[in-house]
Chains A and B, each alone.
Chain A
Amino acid sequence: AQRVTQPEKLLSVFKGAPVELKCNYSYSGSPELFWYVQYSRQRLQLLLRHISRESIKGFTADLNKGETSFHLKKPFAQEEDSAMYYCALSGGYSGAGSYQLTFGKGTKLSVIP
């Protein structure tokens, strides 16, 4: 079974400090990984996905298959980064033909001015 673990429920950092939101996954095949973000009073939205290898709002995430991790990083946190962040894994179709997209429990990032 696939699993996504976000070990921190809450992460507080000062403005300008580096940020790392941890995500570890368990999956036997080749995963597709995503970070979704929910700002206060806004909809949940895609932040980035690993196959795009892009930087969005200064955030990057590298897939480390050896450590089964997909940590989200930003060198200098901004107050507007305060939000709820969810890591998600798509393992494709299971043997029964069912779709498998699994979300972690989320990490609330609070950037202190």
Chain B
Amino acid sequence: DGGITQSPKYLFRKEGQNVTLSCEQNLNHDAMYWYRQDPGQGLRLIYYSQIVNDFQKGDIAEGYSVSREKKESFPLTVTSAQKNPTAFYLCASSIGFNEKLFFGSGTQLSVL
């Protein structure tokens, strides 16, 4: 099951700790995205990247950071500044702008 891979499946964060969620794709897609999914809230865009070494804030970027050093990788760091990090995080990619999104299987982040 190639395509887009997120790890780990479950992650726990202690108070004041930064944690990093991994997202890797082998689809040769230029664009990658991070969404946060909360019950009853739908998907909200955290960050997106349309090309290597470039990324843009989405609607809820505060408390998060990303990097895009390689085309296939788009890790998301949840910093200690994110006061409500417990959520399901989805990574996605697309071949280009306005194209079909391919989603990973997600990471559930919880706070200890």
**Chain A residues within CB distance 8 Å of chain B:** 6, 9, 32, 34, 36, 43-46, 49, 86, 90, 92-93, 98-99, 101, 103-106
Contacts and interface: CB of A to CB of B under 8 A. Distances in A.
A86 B43 contact: yes
Contacts, number: 41
Contacts of A32: 98
Nearest to A99: B48
Contacts of B43: 44, 86, 103
Contacts of B57: 98
B105 A101 contact: no
Contact of A36 (B98, B101, B106): B101
Contacts of B90: 44
- For the residues of B in contact with A, the DSSP-based class is strand
A86 B101 CA distance: 13
B95 to A, nearest CB: 12
A103 B98 contact: no
A34 B98 CA distance: 10
Interface of B: 33, 35, 40-45, 48, 50, 56-57, 90, 92, 97-98, 100-106
A49 B103 contact: no
Contact of B105 (A43, A49, A99, A104): A43
B103 A103 contact: no
Contact of B56 (A6, A43, A99): A99
Contacts of B92: 44
Given A43-B105, A44-B103, A46-B100, A98 B56 contact: yes
Contact of B97 (A9, A46, A99): A99
Given A44-B90, A49-B100, A90-B98, A103 B42 contact: yes
7 contacts: A6-B42, A44-B90, A44-B92, A46-B100, A98-B57, A99-B97, A103-B44
Nearest to A92: B98
Contacts of B40: 9, 105
